[in-house]
Chain A
Amino acid sequence: MTLSLVALQLLNGVEQGLLLFLVASGLTLVFGVLGVLNFAHGSFYMLGAYLAFWLAERTGSLLFAVLLGVPLMLLFGFLVERLAVARLYQRDHLSQVLLTYGLVLLFNELSRLLFGNDVHPVATPALLSGSFKLGEVQSWPAYRLFTSLSCLVIALLLRYVILGTRFGMRLRAGASNAEMLEVLGVDVRKLFARVFSAGVALAALAGMLAAPLTTVYPGMGESVLVISFVVVVIGGIGSVRGAFFGALLVGIADTFGKVLVPSVSSAVVYAVMAAVLIWRPRGLFGAPAEAR
C-alpha cells in the first residue's frame, strides 16, 4: 500500500468516523441521560437523508435542505419524545426496545410509502464537487472535507454546550440523579425532551450530510444504528467524549478493514470492540458503576 493510499484511507476513515459521531453522540446521550435504549435512532438518520433528498430536489440546494431540515427534525424529535418515548422512562429496557423497534418499522414503511423502494441519489453541491490530489493517482473529494469539518465544528459546539453551559450541567446532573434535579426546581421532562430532540437532529444531520455519499434508500438507518451501538459501547455508555473517539476508531478500523482484509471486513469493527472491552470493560470513557 502506497503512502498516499494510506493517507486516503485514513482521511476516509476519519470522515466516516466523524459522521458516525453525530449519530452516536445522540444515542449515547439519550441512553445516558434519559435511560432509553433507542432503536429508532438509526431511523432518524434515514429520515434526515430522505428529508435532504426531498428538500434538495425542491430547493435545488443541499445547503437549504440542511438549514430547513435540521429545525424540522428538531421539531419532529420533540413530537416523537412527547408522543412515544416519554412513556418509556419508567419502563424496563424490553419495553423500550419493543416500542422503539416498532418506530423503526413504522418509519421504514413510511419512507417506502412516500418514496418507494428505489435508491435515490443526492447531488453533491456544485461548489464542493471538486477534489484534492493526494500523490499521483489518488484524490479526495472536497465534499468529504466539508462534511468532516462540519462534524468537527458540531463536535466542538457539543463539547462547549455540555461542559460550559448550565444546560450542559443539568444534562450531566440529570444523567446521574434526575430526581434531585427535579426537586430543586428543574423541569426534568422538558430537559429530557430537549436532549431527545437534539439527539434526533444530530442523527438527521448526519443522514443529510451523508446523503450525497451513500445515496438514500429504505432501511439505510439499520446498519448505522448497529455500528453506532458499537461506538457507544466502545466509548463508554453515556460519554459523548467516548462517542467521539469511539467513532473515529470505528471509522478508521472499518475503512482499513475493507482495504486490508476485505473477506472479513465486516468483523473488524467487532474485533476492535472486543479488544477495547477486554482492555476497559466499561469502554474508553465509561463511568464506574457507583458514579452513574
Chain B
Amino acid sequence: MTAPLLEVEDLHAYYGESHVLHGVSFSIAEGETLTLMGRNGMGKTTTIRSALGLLPPRRGVVRVRGHAVTGLRPHSIAQLGIALVPEGRGIFPTLTVREHLVVTARPGRWTAERTLELFPRLRERLGTLGAQLSGGEQQMLSIARALLTNPDLVILDGATEGLAPLVRQEIWTALRRLRAEGTAALVVDKEVKALLALGDRHLILVKGRIAFAGTTPQWRARAEENLALLRA
C-alpha cells in the first residue's frame, strides 16, 4: 500500500495559551477529494495552517507521502506539491493578474493558458491589479495561482464563501474538473450540499476534534446528526 499524499496524525495546536486543536487526524490519498466541514471557530483554518507549517503544531505529525514534514518551513512543504487557496484569498494587491500567474508558478501540466481556459473571465483582466478585482475574480485568481504551482494537492480554505451564486457555480465546476484530472483537494466551505456532491470523504470538526469522518453515503446515513453538528 502506498503512503497517503497527506497524513495528519494527532495534531495539537495552540494560539498562545488557548488549545485550539485536540488531536486531529486524517489523511488524503492521491487524487482524493476530502471536505472539511464545521462551524466558525471550530479549527478548520487552524488545521490547515498547522498542516502547512504556518502554525507549527505542539504535538502530532504531518507526513507528505510518508515523510514527516513537521518542523519544515512552509515553502519546503509547499514544494512537495501542496498549494493553498487561503481564507480571504491572499491576492497580492500590487501585482497584476498576469503577474499572479507567474510569481509562484512552477513548471508542469498547468500553464497560464490552461488556467485562463478554466477561468476565461481572468483573461479580460490580465493587466488589472489584484486590489481592483471583484471577490469572485480574486478567488478564481487565487485558484489559478495555486494550480500554477502544479500541486498534487490543493487546499481551499473557504472555496466559495462570500461570492455571488453564479460565481460559486463557476468555482464548483472548476473543482469538479480538478477532481476529474486526478488532483487531490481538501475543501473547506459552508455549502454542505455542494461539498457532498464533490467530495469522496468528509470530515466534521467540532471544537478542535474530528466529530465525523466518512464517505458521502456514510455522511448521508447520519445526516440529521451531522447537520446538527454544523448548525450555528
Contact = CB atoms under 8 A, between A and B. Distances in A.
Contacts of B95: 169, 172-173
Interface stretch (B73-81, B117-125, B172-180, B201-209): B73-81
Contact of A183 (B54, B92, B99, B131): B54
Q: Classify the secondary structure of A's interface with B.
A: helix
A177 B74 CA distance: 14
A186 B78 CA distance: 8
Contacts of B83: 184-185
Nearest to A175: B94
A132 B79 CA distance: 57
A290 to B, nearest CB: 8
Contacts of A185: 75, 78-79, 83, 104, 106, 149
B78 A184 contact: yes
Given A183-B52, A184-B104, A176 B93 contact: yes
Interface centre among A172, A175, A180 (most CB of B within 10 A): A180
Contacts of A172: 92, 94-95
A169 B103 contact: yes
A57 interface: no
B94 A188 contact: no
Contacts of A170: 103-104
Nearest to A174: B92
B84 A183 contact: yes
B90 interface: yes
B44 interface: no
B12 interface: no
Given A172-B95, A173-B103, A291-B131, A186 B75 contact: yes
Contact of B94 (A179, A182, A291): A291
A188 B102 contact: no
A287 interface: yes
A185 B86 CA distance: 14
A181 interface: yes
Contacts of A181: 103-104
Given A176-B92, A185-B106, A187-B73, 10 more contacts: A166-B102, A169-B95, A175-B94, A176-B94, A181-B104, A182-B75, A184-B83, A185-B75, A185-B78, A186-B75
Using C-beta atoms within 8 Å of the partner chain, give the interface range for chain A: 20 to 34
B146 A184 contact: yes
Given A180-B86, A183-B54, A169 B99 contact: yes
Interface in B144-193: 145-146, 149
Interface in A186-227: 186-189
B90 A180 contact: yes
A184 B84 contact: yes
Contact of A177 (B92, B102, B146): B92
Interface string B18-58: 00000000000000000000000000000000001010000
Interface centre among B86, B90, B131 (most CB of A within 10 A): B90
Given A179-B54, A180-B86, A186 B104 contact: yes
A77 to B, nearest CB: 22
Interface centre among B75, B86, B102, B106 (most CB of A within 10 A): B75
B116 to A, nearest CB: 18
B122 to A, nearest CB: 17
A292 B93 CA distance: 8
Contact of B149 (A166, A184, A189): A184
A291 B91 CA distance: 10
Contacts of B74: 179, 182-183
Interface string A262-290: 00000000000000000000000001001
10 contacts: A173-B94, A180-B86, A181-B104, A182-B74, A183-B52, A184-B78, A184-B104, A184-B149, A185-B106, A287-B93
A190 to B, nearest CB: 9
Interface centre among A182, A290, A292 (most CB of B within 10 A): A182
A185 to B, nearest CB: 4
A6 B83 CA distance: 59
Contacts of A189: 73
Nearest to A184: B104
B146 to A, nearest CB: 7
B75 A188 contact: yes
Contacts of B93: 176, 287, 290-292
Name the 10 nearest CB pairs between A and B, nearest first.
A185-B78, A184-B104, A180-B90, A291-B93, A173-B92, A169-B103, A182-B74, A185-B79, A183-B74, A187-B75
Contacts of A176: 92-94
